[in-house]
Every structure is written in C-alpha cells, then in structure tokens.
Chains A and B, each alone.
Chain A
Amino acid sequence: AQKVTQAQTEISVVEKEDVTLDCVYETRDTTYYLFWYKQPPSGELVFLIRRNSFDEQNEISGRYSWNFQKSTSSFNFTITASQVVDSAVYFCALSGHGSSNTGKLIFGQGTTLQVKP
C-alpha cells in the first residue's frame, strides 16, 4: 500500500529562520512521483514541485529547496530565511508513474507552518 507520513503536525519559527518539513513515503512501485503543495489560509492548493523517483538530484528554487533520498524514502522540504508569507499548510504527496497510471495522489496529513514576525 502507498502511504505518506508528515510527522510534524505544526511548526512555529521566527522570521528569517530556516525550517525543514519532513516527508516519508511508502510504496511498492519502482517508479513514482513525489509532490509538495502549499495551502495558504485562503484555502487553495498551490503546486510547488514534482520529483521523479529516478531523479535523485536535489533541487533549489529561490528560498525553497528539496532533498530527495530514495535510500530513506524521504522527500524533505527546506525554506531558507522564512517569511511571514510562508505561513501555510504544506502537503507532501505521492503518485504512480507511467502512461497507464491513473495518477491518483496519496497525501500526507500536512504540516502547518507558522512564521512569526
């Protein structure tokens, strides 16, 4: 069975601190996709990143970076120099891979990040 675990329910930091959100996944698929989404207080889901399972390169996008480690089944997300606007719920998700896959997403329970000024 596929499963995504975000063990941190809530994290509170002060602005400009770095913060890492953890994501651990379980799957029997040999190829898969991993995602991160942001859900601000307004409620919509904002896509942040998609990572293929066969690409273990870490990625950086501005203040955001992602560390994918297949050996530990983890896909952690780091925000550098956090800002108040980063306050949101962050979801990690998993889906299958390949043209015949239905692309159903399995979500973690989310981590609420509060960045205080």
Chain B
Amino acid sequence: NAGVTQTPKFRILKIGQSMTLQCAQDMNHNYMYWYRQDPGMGLKLIYYSVGAGITDKGEVPNGYNVSRSTTEDFPLRLELAAPSQTSVYFCASRKQGLAGVQGQFFGPGTRLTVL
C-alpha cells in the first residue's frame, strides 16, 4: 500500500492564480481530511469528508473548495490564491470506527507559497 499520497510536494503560485492539491489513499478509508500548518503553528482543519459525495467544513474553510467523487481521492481547490494561504497542507485519512491504534494516516504534505 502506498498509504496517503499528495501531489505536488512544492508549488509557488502568484496571487489570484488557482490550483488543485491532490490527495489519494489506497487503504479504503471512509474519512479524509485536509489540514493546513502555518509557520510555527499546529495543524488546523480545512475540510473533511466522511465518504464519497459527503464533505463538510472544518475550522478554516474560507478560500478553499473540496470534492469527494470517489473513496480514494479528496482534492483541495484554491480558486484565487492569496498570500495568507502560504502554508503546508496535509491530507489525512482514517477508517470509520475504532480505526486501529493510529487513527489518522497523514500524507507527506504539500508546501505552497503564494507570492
């Protein structure tokens, strides 16, 4: 299993550009999450999904959109990039229920800079 994969690893955007951060998992997990980590801070939840076709806002959803058309994929869309969206983005997934010891499995992160 590849686990949780994220692409790209790094990206520089200009203000006003748009992009999609890709996230995929091959563990057949129901739940998927997007977090952002600002410099010197903990992670904050942007959006999450409890299954294909179902998404909901987290703590900091403004400026982002998500979709979940399949169990495996959970892309995060930035429509009009702003410098405040400069951050490291982590995707995570977990199985419904007890989910084993670990709970959420995290991807390696995407480092995004908006200039």
- A residues touching B (Cβ–Cβ < 8 Å)? 4, 6, 33, 35, 43-45, 47, 50, 91, 93, 95, 99, 102-105, 107-110
A-B Cβ contacts below 8 A, count? 59
Give every chain B residue within 8 A of A102 (Cβ-Cβ): 31, 48, 50, 56
Q: Are B45 and A104 in contact (CB under 8 A)?
A: yes
Q: Could you say which of B42, B108, B109 contacts A107, with CB atoms under 8 Å apart?
A: B42
For B95-106 the 0/1 string (1 means CB < 8 A from A) is: 011110111101
Give every chain B residue within 8 A of A47 (Cβ-Cβ): 102-103, 106
- B residues touching A (Cβ–Cβ < 8 Å)? 31, 33, 35, 40-45, 48, 50, 56, 58, 88, 90, 92, 94, 96-99, 101-104, 106, 108-109, 111
Q: Please list 18 pairs of residues, one from A and one from B, whose beta carbons are closer than 8 Å in the complex, sorted by A's number.
A: A4-B42, A44-B108, A44-B109, A45-B109, A50-B101, A91-B42, A95-B103, A99-B96, A102-B50, A103-B94, A103-B99, A105-B103, A105-B104, A107-B44, A108-B42, A109-B40, A109-B41, A110-B42
